[in-house]
């Protein structure tokens, strides 16, 4: 594995970085373990104060940080800068609210005496993070665990080396002690050894199903705790035509943000029959207005995909569907022959047996389905091995909540796109992963809920 910046707007490899040797990886693990022995005993107010300084730095350096990931993975600069600012909110949330969320809990035992449950750290943790949200994905793992007193070994995506390094730099600038957060440019072949190392107590991965299965297998054999946030093929269900213009606007923005490269992006648009034709017509028109551009330009809202390989994979999925009878309403092709640009795309008439029916479409490709009613919408939405998030749009809130209750997903948003909130849980079910992040739930994964019991007095 080569850690390299390959500018997706040009296809040019601009900078490469050396991977760590086994000896360097061992030293990094030892540094994280050694730091844990003192960090766990650092007063929580001091740990929170460091996180607050981290939050402040992300906001101060948001423009610089945004430019880095626009170059590395093609995110339009306005979205990239917004990501950096939102990351500041995550660190601040745990700095301000975290201490109270992990305060001792008095159990009031029925048998008399006293008992408390104390939230104690467990040790050094490995984080394996993806390229599509280079700062955000790290923050939602690192922030709660650093507050708890755990330490972090962070293996970032191979195409995001500069953003990986700058995050470690920010922690140092904020005063985090050496070894509490360690960036490691590790190759995939070394990951199993890190997980199995007795100095490492858990692993969190955000990535593909294949990677998740590999990590879970190793962690299971080693009896290590793991959290997995994997793919999504998220349904966007439309039950009526009330305020259809706003619903279509939400559908397009939900599909096209970050060039559609989000696990929680709306991907399957399931629309009741009475609304379907107008929805598809309006949706296609609005998609056609999305023309990809230079991610460093403040006017660009749709940039390149992360790599030419990502474009080629999407085009193959579209071509497979069309060859088997799907209708290509708009788009479907790569743009140019240098950068990783692709047309915004809409497919209809997709059926089982097509790759686009069952696979995650990780990019600017939407699929619209016509259904008879809410029951049919739920059945189609649930006919998928993934279960991350979903959205339901309807004027009748009772009907929307009924659908939400029946959806097999970790998250359901009503009359808005799936989003990320610092105080709300994030995670899925089925093959979309295990565990939760953000809010108080992010503090409840890699933690020892230690019972301390005092016997009744005689």
Catalytic annotation, residues: 229, 263
Spatial distance between the Cα atoms of 194 and 188, rounded to a whole number of angstroms: 10
Q: Residue 96 to residues 46, 93, 100, 275: CA-CA distances in angstroms?
A: 12, 5, 8, 45
Element (H, E) at 213: helix 209-221
| CB neighbour list of residue 212: distance below 8 Å, 6 or more residues apart | 205, 228, 230, 433
Contact by Cβ (8 Å): 62, 85: yes
Contact by Cβ (8 Å): 183, 127: no
How wide is the angle at C-alpha 399 spanned by C-alphas 268 and 430, nearest 5°? 45
Virtual torsion, Cα 381, 386, 387, 393, nearest 10 deg:
-30
Spatial distance between the Cα atoms of 46 and 40, rounded to a whole number of angstroms: 11
Could you give the 3-state DSSP secondary structure of residue 41?
A: coil
327-355 burial string, b = 16+ CB within 10 Å, else e? ebbebbebeeeebbbbbbbbbbbbeeebb
Q: Which single residue is written with the structure tokens 């005496």?
A: 113
16-37 burial string, b = 16+ CB within 10 Å, else e? eeebbeeeebbebbebbbebbe
Q: Which two tokens stand for residue 383?
A: 């006919």
At residue 347, what are phi and psi to the nearest 5 degrees?
-110, 145
């Amino acid at each position: 594995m080569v850690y390299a910046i390959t500018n997706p707007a040009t296809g040019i490899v601009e900078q490469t970085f050396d991977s760590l040797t086994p000896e360097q990886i061992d030293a990094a693990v030892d540094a994280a373990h050694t730091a844990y022995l003192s960090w766990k005993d650092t007063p929580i107010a001091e740990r929170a104060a460091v996180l607050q300084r981290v939050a402040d730095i992300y906001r101060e350096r948001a423009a610089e940080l945004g430019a880095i990931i626009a170059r590395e993975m093609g995110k339009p600069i306005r979205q990239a800068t917004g990501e950096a600012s939102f990351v500041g909110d995550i660190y601040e949330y745990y700095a301000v609210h975290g201490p109270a969320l992990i305060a001792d809990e008095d159990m009031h035992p029925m048998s008399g005496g006293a008992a408390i449950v104390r939230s104690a750290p467990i040790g050094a943790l490995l984080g394996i993070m993806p390229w599509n949200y280079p700062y955000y994905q790290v923050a939602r793992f690192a922030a709660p665990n650093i507050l708890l007193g755990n330490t972090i070994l962070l293996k970032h995506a191979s195409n995001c080396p500069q953003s990986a390094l700058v995050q470690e730099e920010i922690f140092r600038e904020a005063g985090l002690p050496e070894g509490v957060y360690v960036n490691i440019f590790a190759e995939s072949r070394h990951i199993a050894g890190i997980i199995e190392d007795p100095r490492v107590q858990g692993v969190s991965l955000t990535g593909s199903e294949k990677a998740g299965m590999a990590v879970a297998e190793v962690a299971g054999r080693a009896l290590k705790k793991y959290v997995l946030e994997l793919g999504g093929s998220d349904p966007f269900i439309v039950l009526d035509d009330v305020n259809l213009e706003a619903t279509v606007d939400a559908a397009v923005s939900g599909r096209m943000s970050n060039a559609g490269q989000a696990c929680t992006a709306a991907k399957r648009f399931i629309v009741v029959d009475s609304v379907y034709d107008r929805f598809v017509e309006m949706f296609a028109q609005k998609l056609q207005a999305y023309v990809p551009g230079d991610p460093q330009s403040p006017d660009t809202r749709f940039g390149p995909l992360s790599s030419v390989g990502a474009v080629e994979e999407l085009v193959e999925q579209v071509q497979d569907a069309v060859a088997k009878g799907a209708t290509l309403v708009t788009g479907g092709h790569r743009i140019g022959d240098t950068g990783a640009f692709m047309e915004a795309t809409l497919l209809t008439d997709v059926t089982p047996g097509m790759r686009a029916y069952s696979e995650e479409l990780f990019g600017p490709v939407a699929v619209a389905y016509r259904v008879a009613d809410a029951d049919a919408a739920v059945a189609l939405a649930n006919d998928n091995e993934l279960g991350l998030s979903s959205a339901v749009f309807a004027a009748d809130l009772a009907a929307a909540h009924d659908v939400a209750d029946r959806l097999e997903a970790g998250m359901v948003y009503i009359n808005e796109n799936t989003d990320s909130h610092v105080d709300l849980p994030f995670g899925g079910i089925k093959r979309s992963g295990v565990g939760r992040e953000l809010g108080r739930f992010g503090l409840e994964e890699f933690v020892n809920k230690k019972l301390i019991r005092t016997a009744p007095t005689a």
